[in-house]
Amino acid sequence: MRNLRKHLAWMCSAGLMCGAMTFAEEPQRLPQNQTQPEAVDIEDVATRVGLLQERLDRLEAENATLKQSMMQGVTPANAEMMSAYPNAAAAADAKPAWKTGWNNGIEWASEDKQFKVHIGGRTQFDTIWVGQEDHALDGAGGISGSKAQDAFAFRRARLRADGTIYETIDYVAEFDFVNSGSVDPNASGSPGANTVKNTINFPAPTDLYFKFKEVPWVGNVIVGLYKDPFGFEHLTSSRYLNFMERSYNQDLFAGPNNNGFIPGVTLMNTYGDESGVWAIGAYKNNYNSNVFGYDIGDGNYATSARLTYLLIDDKECHQLLHIGAAGSIRDPNTINGDGTLRFRARDLRNGPANLATVYADSGFFNTDRQYLSGLELAGINGPWSFQGEWMGSWATNARLTPLGKSLGTYYSTGSYAEVHYFLTGESRDYDRKAGVFTRIIPDRNFRWKNGCYEPGAWQVAFRYSTANLNSQGISGGNLNGYTVGLNWFLNPNMKVQWNYAITERSFNKGTAHVDDGLIHQYGMRLAHDF
C-alpha cells in the first residue's frame, strides 16, 4: 500500500507539471473537423488527488486492524483473509489469544482450548457451642480433659491453582493453611492431654496431582496426592457438603489422620455414556500417619477401587438414582516394627484437629492387615435428594501389644442416611465424571438492594449416623448421631450453614456407664470458595 501511494503521487505530480507546461505554450492549430480541448482545472485535479490519498489512508488503517484481529485468533469472517497474510497466520498459531473470565473463580483460557489456568481457594469459618450430660465426656479427649469447650476456628483455609496444559493434561495444586499439630510430643500422647499451648497451624498439601486424559484403554491416569476412590461422601468436595462435617465414616475409615488425601496412582474412567464410573489405584499408606502427603516405611501399601452406576438418570425431570460399591486393602503403618491402627470419631470440630473432642476411640492396637468395604446409595427427585453409606473394616490378628495375645479379627463399622429438601425449589447437580454431588446453583442469588429482595437458595437437611468400635474386647465406643441442618446458599460461591447435633455415646464397661450420655452441639459456618 505504501509503495502504491508513492507511485500514484508521483504520477499525479508529473501529470500536473506536464499539463502546466502544455497550457503555457502557444496552442497548436487543430484540423477543421476537431474542436479545441477544454482547459484542465488544476484545483479540481488536486482535490481528486487529496480524496485518493484519504482513501488510501483509510485502506491502510483497515488493513492494520485486520492484521491485528487475525493475530488474536481465526474466525469464519477472517479465515479466508488469513491466506493473504501468511506471516500473520503463523504468528496467530504461535501465540493464541487468551480470554479472561469467571468460572467460579478467575480463569484464563486460550482460544484453541489447549491451555487453562484457574486460581481459587476456600475459607470456612466455624463457631461451635457444646454441652453434655454429666460424665458423658469423661476420658473422651476434651480440651480440658473432662469436657468439651466452645470454639471459634477456621475449619479450612485453602489456596488453589488448577487448569490444563496441551489439552490432555490437567493439574491441581492446593494447600490448606490451617492444619494443626503439637510441637511437644509428650504433651499430645493421650486423648485428653492439654495441648493448647503447643498447637500450631502449618500449611499442608491437599490435592496436588496431574491427570493424564484420553489415555488409550484406561481413559485417565492420575498421579500425585488426592483422594483415593473409596466413599461417596469422602469424594464429595467439602465445598459441596450438606452438613458442616461428614459422618463418622470419614474419621474412622475414609480419611483418618491424613485429611483423606493419599499419594499414589489411579486409573479412572466413565462407561455407559457416563452412566457409571470405575476407578482403581495403588497408594503408599499414610492413612494413620500424617497430612503432608508422604509415607516412609517398608511396605505400608494400599489398594482402593470403586464402581458406580446410575439406575435412573432423567435430566429433564431432575431425577437420578446412584448406586456404588468400593473396597480397600491396606497395610497398617509400622510402629516399633509392628503394624498399628487406631480408630477414632469426632463430630463438629470444636477447635483445630488435634484439639477437637474425640467421641469414640479404640486406642492404638497392632494388626497384620486391614480390609474395608463400602456401599453407596444416593438420589435426586426435583428439590429432594438423599444419600447413605455403609462401611465396614476388618483388622486381622488384632492384639493390644506387639507380643500380646491375638484378639482375632477386630471388626468396626459405620453408616449414615440423610435427606435434603430445597425450600426455594432448586435441584441438586451431579458430576457424572466423578460419580458425586457437586455445586449448588441458586435460581436467584441473594440480594437486597433498592427495595428488591432475592432469597438465594434455602435447604433443610437431616442425618442419622452410627459407629461401633466395641469389638473383640476393645471398648472403643458406640455412637448414634442425629443432625439437623439449615443451609443458605447466597450464591454459587458462598453459603451459611447451621447444624444442631445430638450424639448418644455408650461403652461396654459393665454397669458403671462411665462416658455414657448425650452430647449436644450447635454449629454455624460461613463458607466461601472461588
**Mean pLDDT of the residues in the chain:** 84
Dig out the grid coordinates for 183 from the structure: 510441637
Indicate the SS3 state at residue 171. Answer: strand
* Residue 91 confidence (pLDDT) above 80: no
**All structural domains of the chain:** 125-529 (2.40.160.10)
Rounded to the nearest 10°, the torsion over CA 161, 172, 324, 303 is: -150
- 135-144, 155-164, 284-293 — which is least confidently predicted? 135-144
483-523 residue pLDDT tens? 999 999 999 999 999 999 999 988 765 545 556 889 999 99
The runs of H, that is alpha helices, within 28-133 are: 42-71, 79-82, 86-94
Closest by CA to 395, choosing from 459, 332, 334, 353, is 332
- pLDDT of the residue at 335: 67
The residue behind cell 446409595 is 377
- 3-12, 46-55, 411-420 — which is least confidently predicted? 3-12
Please list, in sequence order, all residues whose beta carbon lies within 8 angstroms of the beta carbon of residue 193, skipping any fewer than 6 positions away. Answer: 145, 187
Separation of first and last alpha carbons in the chain: 50
The runs of H, that is alpha helices, within 370-410 are: none
pTM: 0.78
* Rounded distance between C-alpha atoms, residue 297 and residue 95, angstroms: 47
Residue 337 — very low, low, confident or very high, per pLDDT cuts 50/70/90? low
- Residue 27 or 134, more confident: 134
SS3 content of the chain, % helix, strand, coil (to 5): 15, 45, 35
321, β-bridge pairs: 312, 379
Rounded to the nearest 10°, the torsion over CA 236, 237, 239, 242 is: 20
DSSP per-residue string spanning 514-530: TT-EEEEEEEEEEEEE-
Q: What percent of the chain has pLDDT over 70?
A: 78
The residue behind cell 448414634 is 480
- pLDDT of the residue at 182: 67
- Residue 93 or 376, more confident: 376
- Residue 209 or 300, more confident: 209
- pLDDT of the residue at 187: 52
Q: What's the whole-number mean pLDDT along residues 372-377? A: 98
- pLDDT of the residue at 18: 40
What's the Cα-to-Cα distance from 481 to each of 140, 148, 379, 417, 521, rounded to whole Å?
Answer: 16, 17, 22, 11, 11
- Residue 339 or 388, more confident: 388
Q: What's the whole-number mean pLDDT along residues 137-141? A: 56
Closest by CA to 334, choosing from 283, 297, 365, 303, is 297
- pLDDT of the residue at 54: 81
- Residue 180 or 455, more confident: 455
The highest-confidence range among 301-305, 345-349, 504-508, by mean pLDDT, is 301-305
458-491 residue pLDDT tens? 999 999 999 999 999 888 899 999 999 999 999 9
Residue 87 — very low, low, confident or very high, per pLDDT cuts 50/70/90? low
- pLDDT of the residue at 186: 56
Q: What's the whole-number mean pLDDT along residues 316-325? A: 96
Residue 95 — very low, low, confident or very high, per pLDDT cuts 50/70/90? low
Indicate the SS3 state at residue 365. Answer: strand
* Residue 453 confidence (pLDDT) above 50: yes
Q: What H or E segment, with its residue span, contains residue 172?
A: strand 169-182
* Residue 126 confidence (pLDDT) above 90: yes
Residue 14 — very low, low, confident or very high, per pLDDT cuts 50/70/90? very low
* Residue 306 confidence (pLDDT) above 60: yes
- pLDDT of the residue at 395: 96
- pLDDT of the residue at 192: 45
Please list, in sequence order, all residues whose beta carbon lies within 8 angstroms of the beta carbon of residue 243, skipping any fewer than 6 positions away. Answer: 418, 461, 463, 483, 485, 497, 499
Dig out the grid coordinates for 160 from the structure: 488453589
> Helix and strand tally (H, E) in the chain?
6, 27
Classify residue 499 as exposed, middle or buried by CB count within 10 Å of its CB (0-12, 13-18, 19+): buried
Please list, in sequence order, all residues whose beta carbon lies within 8 angstroms of the beta carbon of residue 4, skipping any fewer than 6 positions away. Answer: 56
* Residue 191 confidence (pLDDT) above 60: no
